[in-house]
Amino acid sequence: MKLSNEQIAFYNENGYLKIDNYFSPAEVGMLYNELPHTCEENSPRVILEDNGSVRSVFAPHFVSEIYHRLSRLDRLVIPARQIVGNKIYLHQYKVNSKKGLKGEWWEWHQDFPYWHIDDGIRNPDLVSVMLYLQDTDSSNGALMLIPKTHKLGIVKFAVKDSPQKTKDYLSSLSSDIKFTVDHKLLKELSLANGIVTASGKKGSVLFFHGNIFHASNTNLTPFDRDAVLLTYNSIDNPPTNSLNPRPEFLAGRNFEPIEQLETSILYAEHQHE
Ligand code: 6CS
Ligand code: FE
C-alpha cells in the first residue's frame, strides 16, 4: 500500500493521483450501507442543497465506527503520510453526496484557501483523498481538475456576481462558495494545462492537493454520486484560528498523530469476501 516512486512523482508534478480498484465491492458496499446512519435529522453536520437533498455529511466518524475505522486505514494513512511527508491527523472528513437529479455543482476553487483563511492553517501540508462509492463519470458529476495548478499557491479569487447568501460557515460549503478561482486565470490555465475529469468505478480513490483547481457539475443523471473525502494534515501544521474557530466537525481538533492503523474496515466475519 505504500505509493511507488512513480506514483509520488506523478502526484508532485500534477497535484493529483487516481488509483482504481483500491477498495473491494464488499468494502464499498459496507460504507454505502452505513451512509444513512451518519446523517441524523437536523444535525449541523448535514449540509443540504437548496432543494433539500443532502449535499455533505461532515464528520461521519463522530457517529459511525465503520467510518472511524476507514479514517485510520493503512491503505489511506500510509500514502497520505508519504505525500504530506510527516505524521498526520485528520483535519476534515465528509461524504459529499451529489444525489441523482438533485446534486448541485461545486464551482472552480482551491480547498486550501478555506483551511488557511477560515481555520488559520499556515501551510498547504495537507492531502485529500476521495473514495468513490458509486461509478462516477462526467455525466453524474465527477471531479474535474486542472493539472499542475497546485504549484501556484493561493490564487486570485473571482469577484462574485451577487452577495453571498450566508455569511456564516455555510458560505464555504454550499453551492455558492465564497472563494472561487478568477475566471481569467481559470481560462489561461485550462488552455495551458487542460482539464482532466477524474472518472472512476466505485472503489477508486483520488489523492489531491489542497491548491489544485477543481470543480464538479450538477448531477443530471438519476444515479447518485456519493464520495467520501478525508483531508489529512501534518501534525506540525495545525489551525491557528483561536478567535472564532469553525466547529470541530469542519476543522478537527484531535492533533494526535494517527498510529495503530486498521488493516481492514470489514469486521472479521466479512473479511473473506
Ligand atoms: O470550507 C471547507 O473546509 C470546505 N469547502 C470547500 C469549498 N472546499 C474545502 C472544504 O471541503
Ligand atoms: Fe474542494
Lowest-confidence range among 58-62, 90-94, 261-265? 261-265
Q: Please tell me the total count of domains within the chain.
A: 1
Give Cβ neighbours of residue 20 (< 8 Å, ≥ 6 apart): 200, 201, 203, 204
User: Is there a domain that residue 113 lies in?
Assistant: yes
Is the alpha carbon torsion for 62, 167, 165, 179 positive or negative? negative
* Ligand 1 atom closest to Cα of residue 115: 3
Report the distance separating Cα 200 and Cα 131, nearest Å. 10
- The pLDDT value recorded for residue 271 is 55
Q: What is the mean pLDDT of residues 138-153?
A: 98
* Ligand 1 atom closest to Cα of residue 177: 7
C-alpha cell at 79: 500514502
With 80 as the cut, is the pLDDT of residue 269 above it? Answer: no
> What is the bridge-based pairing of β-strands 225-234 and 126-132?
antiparallel
With 90 as the cut, is the pLDDT of residue 272 above it? Answer: no
User: Is there a domain that residue 204 lies in?
Assistant: yes
> What is the bridge-based pairing of β-strands 54-58 and 46-48?
antiparallel
pLDDT tens track for 107-144: 999 999 999 999 999 999 999 999 999 999 999 999 99
Show the ligand 1 pocket: residues with CB < 6 angstroms.
Answer: 92, 109, 111, 114-115, 118, 172-173, 177, 250
User: Is there a domain that residue 269 lies in?
Assistant: no
With 60 as the cut, is the pLDDT of residue 74 above it? Answer: yes
Q: Return the number of other C-beta atoms located less than 10 Å from residue 46's C-beta.
A: 18
pLDDT band with cut points at 50, 70 and 90 for residue 1: confident
Report the distance separating Cα 205 and Cα 200, nearest Å. 8
- The pLDDT value recorded for residue 131 is 98
Cα 273 to middle of ligand 1, angstroms: 35
- The pLDDT value recorded for residue 265 is 87
Report the distance separating Cα 80 and Cα 131, nearest Å. 13
- The pLDDT value recorded for residue 166 is 76
Domain range enclosing 66: 5-234
Query: Are the beta carbons of 72 and 260 closer than 8 angstroms?
Result: yes
With 80 as the cut, is the pLDDT of residue 199 above it? Answer: yes
Q: For the chain, what percent of residues have pLDDT higher than 90?
A: 92
For ligand 1, pick from 111, 130, 178, 208 the residue to mutate: most ligand atoms within 8 Å of CB. Answer: 111
Minimal CA–CA distance to 142: which of 59, 201, 211, 79? 201
Q: b vs e for 10-25, b when ≥16 Cβ sit within 10 Å of the residue's Cβ?
A: bbeebbbbbbeebbee
Report the distance separating Cα 141 and Cα 154, nearest Å. 25
User: Is there a domain that residue 207 lies in?
Assistant: yes
With 90 as the cut, is the pLDDT of residue 3 above it? Answer: yes
pLDDT tens track for 222-258: 999 999 999 999 999 999 999 999 999 999 999 999 9
User: Is there a domain that residue 144 lies in?
Assistant: yes
φ/ψ region of 16 (left if φ > 0, alpha if ψ in -120 to 50, else beta) reads: beta
With 90 as the cut, is the pLDDT of residue 30 above it? Answer: yes
User: Is there a domain that residue 121 lies in?
Assistant: yes
What CATH number should be reported for the domain holding residue 221?
2.60.120.620
